[in-house]
Structure 1
Amino acid sequence: MKIEIRDRRREDVNEFCEFLYRLDNEAEYMLVEKGERNIDEEVISGNIGAVIDSGDACYIAKDDKNIVGYAIAVRENFIRTKHVATIVIGILEDYCSKGIGSMFFRNIINWAAENNVKRLELTVIKENVRAVNLYKKVGFSIEGIREKATFMNGRYYDELYMAKILE
């Protein structure tokens, strides 16, 4: 299976909306519940434009036909923290454990180097072992725990704060 990683573009809006709908309906550990995210093409188009216009990073992974994953890195806006970017990644279940996450991080780290970003950070539900292992593999460290930060499936879950410092 050939996977292409590239920048998300404005013309990806329809396909990206379809991808988000699939992701939200199958991803166990994403922040939003099924049907909770506003997957309106106008809203998503505005989000895509905002990321592009701000110079932040958003990559998509495509197989031969469809978007199968995305990764976004958004910088802080304040002068004292604009060297910090927060990362969110989502990959469809059938495409997990195929190296896409590692490819996303190579792109994000290159983008960070070109944009004077020195700190990448993210949160992840502690039980999401596959994601935690990926983040550790690409150099992230656990900096803290947000106890009972997420509620789903009738119980509370802890989130890990993780970060990678770039030289």
Structure 2
Amino acid sequence: MPMIIRPIDVSDAEAFLELNKRIDESGFMLHEPGERKTTVEQQKQAIERASSEERSAFFVAESDYQLAGFIAAFGGKMKRNQHSAYLALGVHDAFHGQGMATKLITKVYEWAEAISISRLELTVIKDNVKALKLYQKMGFQIEGEKVHSLMIDGKPVNEYYMYKLV
């Protein structure tokens, strides 16, 4: 079954919520496992909001007719930062190692070039070695370190700020 990368749709709300809950279980996302309390209706509204933002994009990866990953790009809203976008990426663990994250990031590169966004940025938990290697493979560089930016299991955890100029 081929993988399809496409813009998210409001009709994806329920499946997207379930995907996020599964990805949260990895321990590498902002939400703690089980912490996400978003309703389907709230998720629909969030998708509508994101879709209406001129300099933002939201893509999902579909495999075997189910959502398996996503990438969101949140563009700057002011004149001084509208050339940049902050990324959030997640892939269902059953689909790791299949090139899905690479395809999602590539899709965002195409989108960014098409609307003249020249800087992409993200944060990644320092201990998330797989993600760090992926981002570096895709051309992201470490820009700095957010010290004690998260508390995970009662312990402070650092994140890397990463960027890529497109």
* TM-score range relative to shorter protein: over 0.9
Runs of 4+ in 1 over 4 A off after TM superposition: none
What is aligned with 1:5?
Answer: 5
Q: How far apart are residue 12 of structure 1 and its match?
A: 1.1
- The alignment-based identity, stated in percent, is 32
Secondary structure of residue in 2 paired with 1:79: coil
Tell me if the contact between 2:148 and 2:156 (Cα under 8 Å) persists in the aligned partners. yes
Q: Can you give the 5+ residue segments of structure 2 that lack an aligned partner in the other structure? A: none
Structure 2 distance, partners of 1:163, 1:105, is 13
Q: Deviations over 1:103-145 (max 9, x none)?
A: 0111000000111101000000011000000100010000000
What is aligned with 2:163?
Answer: 163
What is aligned with 1:146?
Answer: 146
Tell me if the contact between 2:27 and 2:33 (Cα under 8 Å) persists in the aligned partners. no
Tell me if the contact between 1:27 and 1:92 (Cα under 8 Å) persists in the aligned partners. no
Which deviates the most, 26-35 or 75-84?
26-35
What is aligned with 1:91?
Answer: 91
Amino acid at match of 1:47: A
Which deviates the most, 75-84 or 35-44?
35-44
Q: How far apart are residue 45 of structure 1 and its match?
A: 0.6
Q: Deviations over 1:4-55 (max 9, x none)?
A: 111101111121122222222x222001112322321111111100111113
Tell me if the contact between 1:60 and 1:68 (Cα under 8 Å) persists in the aligned partners. yes
Secondary structure of residue in 1 paired with 2:142: strand
Which deviates the most, 103-112 or 93-102?
93-102
Q: Can you give the 5+ residue segments of structure 1 that lack an aligned partner in the other structure? A: none
Alpha-carbon RMSD across the aligned residues, in angstroms, is 1.2
Structure 2 distance, partners of 1:126, 1:97, is 20
Aligned residue-pair number: 165
What is aligned with 2:111?
Answer: 111
Which deviates the most, 138-147 or 148-157?
148-157
Normalising by structure 1, we get a TM-score of: 0.94
Q: Deviations over 1:145-164 (max 9, x none)?
A: 01111111232111000000
Normalising by structure 2, we get a TM-score of: 0.94
Tell me if the contact between 1:21 and 1:39 (Cα under 8 Å) persists in the aligned partners. no
What is aligned with 2:28?
Answer: 29
